[in-house]
Amino acid sequence: MLFISLLVSLYLLQPAHAADEPQPGSTELANPFSDYVPFEDEYDVDEDERFMYFGRFFAVSLGTGVHQFGGNIGKLYNTALPVLDFRLIYFFDFRLAGSIGISSSAHAFNAQPNGPVEVNLFRFNADLKYYFDTKNVGAAITAANPYIIAGVSQTYRTQVFQQRGDIGKDRTLAVNGGLGMEFALKPRKTSLGIEGRIHQMYFKDRFDEEYLESGIPDTTGNMYSVITSVIFFF
């Protein structure tokens, strides 16, 4: 009798288990939450946690340096020293950062037919920085924290023609790229940055023969900059 009672109990329990399983054609299988899979794997979660703990989020950069032109325009414009540079920086993660900023420089030259000319350049900059992964390289390179940088800028130029007694103003788009390094002065607080870039500016008169009388056929050429800055992290 005990054996027969056990068989009857198993038979009565069988339909209940079958009913719990989704049947073919059931809408339950279409439920996107029926088989949930996290969007991030453990590596992504660990990386986010590391960035929240060790990462740098915002920074302010105060810098100075030199601007020097090459090509034909370099035969006119002298080297600008000092250059004033200010940037606001936001870090997306350990490797990528974006920045916006301003910079100002003063140049001068004396060439016929215009004589002495003072030139002021004021630029609005937008850049992206990518820091190299230095986990598997030497300590010297790791300490340098190298990166590449690329960006665009809107450049405003003011030319004061002293001999003619007038002022000319124009503006142009510029693109740039370069390399930089950051040395920690105080970890996660302050760094010293050194950066070199090449800038291509598209002034509308760059193909004019205005200074042909002085042996300069046009004013084409790139600008080169070296900026040293102190960076404060928040």
pLDDT, one tens digit per residue, over 216-231 is 999 999 999 999 999 9
Work out the end-to-end distance of the chain between its first and last CA atoms, rounded to an integer number of angstroms.
79
At residue 23, the pLDDT reads: 55
What was the pLDDT predicted at 46? 57
* pLDDT given at position 142: 81
30 contact partners, CB below 8 Å, separation of at least 6: none
Which residue stretches of the chain have pLDDT < 70? 1-55
| Res 39: pLDDT | 52
pLDDT at 133: 85
CA distances for 189 relative to 21, 91, 154, 164, 183, angstroms: 58, 14, 30, 51, 11
pTM as predicted: 0.75
Longest dimension (CA), the chain: 123
DSSP state of 22: P
Domains within the chain, CATH numbers bracketed: 56-233 (2.40.160.20)
Three-state secondary structure call for residue 222? coil
pLDDT of residue 40: 52
Backbone angles phi, psi at 184, to 5 degrees: -70, 120
**Residue 193 host element (H or E):** strand 190-201
d(CA 180, CA 196): 6
